[in-house]
Amino acid sequence: MGSESHQLHVLFFPFMASGHMIPMIDMAKLFAIRGCKSTLIATPHDEPTFLKSIAKTKDSGFNIDAVTVTLPLKEVGLPEDCDNLNKITTEEIHKQFMRAIMMLDQQLELLIEKLAPDCLVSDIFLPWTNKIATKWGIPRLVFHGTSAFSIAGMECVALYEPHKKVSSDLEPFVIPNFPGEITMSRMQLPDFYREETEFTKFFKEAKESEKQSFGVVMNSFYKLEPVYIDHYRTFLGRRSWFVGPLSLCNKETEDKAHRGNQASIDQHEFLNWLDSKQPNSVVYICFGSMANFNAAQLHEIAVGLEASGQQFIWVVKKDPNGEEGKEEWLPDGYESRIRDKGLIIRGWAPQVLILDHEAIGGFVTHCGWNSTLEAVAAGVPMVTWPVAAEQFFNEKFVTQVLKIGVNIGVKQWVKLFGESVKSERVKEAVKRVLVGEEAEEMRKRSKALAEMARGAVEEGGSSWSDLGDLLQELRRQRLAHKKKI
């Protein structure tokens, strides 16, 4: 067989956090389904989750597998179970964790030497992998787990620094040279934009390595944000391929149920519960894998949900500062009162399975990009409650550009622990997204976008074609490289 038709081997290296690993696993599945050999890099702790997520694809005969690298946690002074960003609770541990990740360079080199992949797809938070890919003569693609809107918006803020020209943290500014007259305030920007932090330097390095990489592969689709994709490609000059929504590669119930961590609820229990509800009559509340709320905030949410009179599924993560087994946020007799109306999942929910159920009519979300795009793909309008990262940009995109969401009204970017929101606002926002004319309009727009999302990943759709073009390009690169050696 000539090298043109030889199976392309792509090595996928996700950052160790659920919101980064989940879409990368989906992407590896997608590449395998399109004829590549996909190898995922996992830590020994996460390997079982990876293997469970790819089992069905593998059993169907596609060429996909996982290999491991071991984080040198001891060497940086971290306990053994600190192997995932989701477990990091302080700035100091975060720094040590990032140092341990950077020390994976030799293990990555050994893997590349052994496996001889044709391409490395690695997370934006692994900028040092670019040099290694270059050394071994293979293209590195950056995986950006966000939208073109957010990435281009953030870049325009970094380039033109409008936040330095306003007189207060709350004074709005328009993002310069960015389509749509989008306004932000300094408070909504990540802290490393507002002041020099350790992460400011790291972020610059990551952006630099993005420019030097072969290109960028993103979890979005053209019709969702054509103006911003064009802006990112043309104005900011990034060679990029938009291959999402990646979650749509999970077609069967089983695929959706096995995505990410082990669900903390029996699948049949909540599906039966949802089956008994009218279409679009239940709101789903979940703040992703990182954001966390203290007991006082959880209490406000509980009270607001009950007062809204609406049906709900609410995912509550364990409060890391709370006492084991103590749920002081839960109002007295709450669960017996709301038994028919509400379901609380403590821990991990099979989110895509829930969002895709026809009973779900609204999603209260922290606007992590995966959650946002999963809601788009499921045709579900949102209540936006951003917390950190680029989530305030995603909120603008959902509420002002797509017009499929209402904001709960938080104004301040905070690391991990969200700004306090009173129960009254929860109640009002939940009602707004589920009932009335405005909800109906948003629902119509959401359903139309969901149709477009499905069209994008079907044969001939934009994401299908973008991936095809990318694979073609990678084959050309391999040929050119082979000729050189």
Catalogue the active-site residues. Answer: 20, 123
Euclidean distance between CA atoms 237 and 166, whole angstroms: 28
Q: Single out the residue of 187, 190, 210 nearest to residue 200, CA to CA.
A: 190
Nearer to ligand UDP by Cβ, of 182 and 315: the residue is: 315
Residue 370: CB minimum distance to ligand UDP, A: 3
Shortest separation between residue 142's beta carbon and ligand UDP, angstroms: 17
> Minimum distance from CB of 336 to ligand UDP (Å)?
24
SS3 451: helix
**Min dist. Cβ of residue 435 to ligand UDP (A):** 25
CA dihedral 379, 383, 389, 390 (to 10 degrees): 60
- Least distance (Å) between residue 345 CB and ligand UDP: 7
Residue 391 vs 462, nearer CB to ligand UDP: 391
Give the C-alpha separation, 422 to 424, whole Å.
5
Query: What one-character DSSP code corresponds to residue 354?
Result: H
Determine the angle formed by the axes of helices 18-33 and 462-484, rounding to 10 degrees: 80
Cis amide linkage into residue 172, ω under 30° from 0:
no
Answer whether 2's CB lies under 8 Å from 478's CB. no
Which residues would be at the binding site for ligand UDP (CB under 6 A)? 18-19, 22, 260, 286, 288-291, 315, 348-349, 351-352, 368-371, 374
CA nearest to 282, candidates 334, 338, 333, 366 = 338
Give the residue nearest to ligand UDP (CB).
19
Taking residue 168's Cβ as centre, other Cβ atoms within 10 Å add up to 8
Nearest partner of 289 among 251, 330, 259, judged by Cα: 259
What is d(CA 284, CA 412) in angstroms, rounded to the nearest whole number? 23
